[in-house]
Amino acid sequence: MIGVVESVSALRFLLDCGVDEVIGEEPTDWSALSPRPRTQSAVASPAPARPAPGAAAPQPAPRQNVPPPAPTRAADPGPLGAAEAGQSARVAASAAQTLDALKEALAAFDGCALKKTATNLVFGMGSRQARIMLIGEAPGENEDRQGLPFVGPAGQLLDRMLAAIGLDRHADDPAKAVYITNMLPWRPPGNRSPTDSEIAACMPFMVRHIELMAPDILIFAGGISAKAMLNRTEGITRLRGRWFDYGSAGLKKSVAAMPMLHPAYLLRNPDAKREAWKDLLALKVRLDGGA
């Protein structure tokens, strides 16, 4: 007979392994559900670098054209081969003429294996007329359950940060509203970091998401979105607080974009809130029409 202590430690072990979801009463052989055999080829973005200590002083940077990140290292290509997934994502994303159509296209997309283990697709939240679009990393456990971005502890901190400069994801007024989304619409199991190939597979949808929102300002929360969308290799502590011009083929004009520290990082490193506050003030100045 297993005692309570053993059961708790067995559950703890499973949690540590990333098994933190009950997704069915019967076991499922996920590999048997793959519609096609996997291939060895992979499309991947530059490997995420660890944040370097110290932050760079804000400075203007040249316009960034935003092709999907260059292949650098092999990773799980998902249920479709990487090239096939990329092509299918590009076709589906560019055909979408509205955000609702894009959400449907994403829901129908089979090129990212995370879809199979996620509970919900997390698309976006907030007024579609918002001047600001904030892009995080990927849904966590709470987001996966609710189908909404940034609703866990990091999201609550994010809301407080936005409120400090008069912004609110629930606002309808475009001047106050913030539209929030993530690089990946599906939760990586156990909240692991997304792989390069998962980011690459979903990149055409992210690019199109920005085109259809056409915001005045983009905020990249954390290194994953900043590096992937700006095609940069520096860590977030070097990128944060700097303004970039983000561009893509479907945007009429480039969008001012600023990377910021991720709220989950701020929860773990409260001292870094000083840096985050500087960036929020810079965002406020920009919103109010300043430099």
Query: Counting contacts by CB under 6 A, is residue 204 touching ligand URA?
Result: no
Query: Counting contacts by CB under 6 A, is residue 78 touching ligand URA?
Result: no
- CB closer to ligand URA out of 21 and 245: 21
Q: What is the widest separation between alpha-carbon atoms in the chain?
A: 68
Task: Give Cβ neighbours of residue 27 (< 8 Å, ≥ 6 apart).
Answer: none
- CB closer to ligand URA out of 139 and 215: 139
Closest by CA to 131, choosing from 106, 165, 105, 98, is 165
**How far, in Å, are 40, 79, 289 from residue 164 at the CA level?**
47, 43, 18
Query: Counting contacts by CB under 6 A, is residue 114 touching ligand URA?
Result: no
DSSP 8-state symbol, 244: E
- CB closer to ligand URA out of 219 and 255: 219
Query: Counting contacts by CB under 6 A, is residue 185 touching ligand URA?
Result: no
Query: Counting contacts by CB under 6 A, is residue 137 touching ligand URA?
Result: yes
- CB closer to ligand URA out of 82 and 133: 133
The H or E element that residue 65 is part of is strand 63-65
Cα gap 124→131, rounded to integer Å: 15
CB of 136 to ligand URA, least distance (A): 3
Contact pattern for ligand URA over residues 262 through 291, marking x by CB under 6 A: --x---------------------------
Tell me, by CB under 6 A, how many residues bind ligand URA. 13
Query: Counting contacts by CB under 6 A, is residue 149 touching ligand URA?
Result: yes
**Looking at 109, 150, 220, 246, which residue binds ligand URA (CB under 6 A)?**
150
HEC letters along 116-171: HHCCCCCCCECCCCCCEEEEECCCCHHHHHHCCCCCCHHHHHHHHHHHHCCCECCC
Is the Cβ–Cβ distance between 283 and 165 less than 8 Å?
yes
Query: Counting contacts by CB under 6 A, is residue 236 touching ligand URA?
Result: no
Q: Helix H segments across the chain?
A: 4-16, 30-33, 82-95, 99-108, 114-117, 141-146, 153-164, 196-213, 223-230, 236-239, 263-268, 273-287
**Looking at 126, 140, 204, 223, which residue binds ligand URA (CB under 6 A)?**
140
Query: Counting contacts by CB under 6 A, is residue 259 touching ligand URA?
Result: no
Query: Counting contacts by CB under 6 A, is residue 215 touching ligand URA?
Result: no
- CB closer to ligand URA out of 82 and 157: 157
The pair phi, psi for residue 246, each rounded to 5°, is -100, 130
Query: Counting contacts by CB under 6 A, is residue 228 touching ligand URA?
Result: no
- CB closer to ligand URA out of 82 and 162: 162
Query: Counting contacts by CB under 6 A, is residue 198 touching ligand URA?
Result: no
Cα gap 162→181, rounded to integer Å: 15
List interacting residues with ligand URA (CB under 6 A): 136-140, 143, 149-150, 152, 154-155, 182, 264
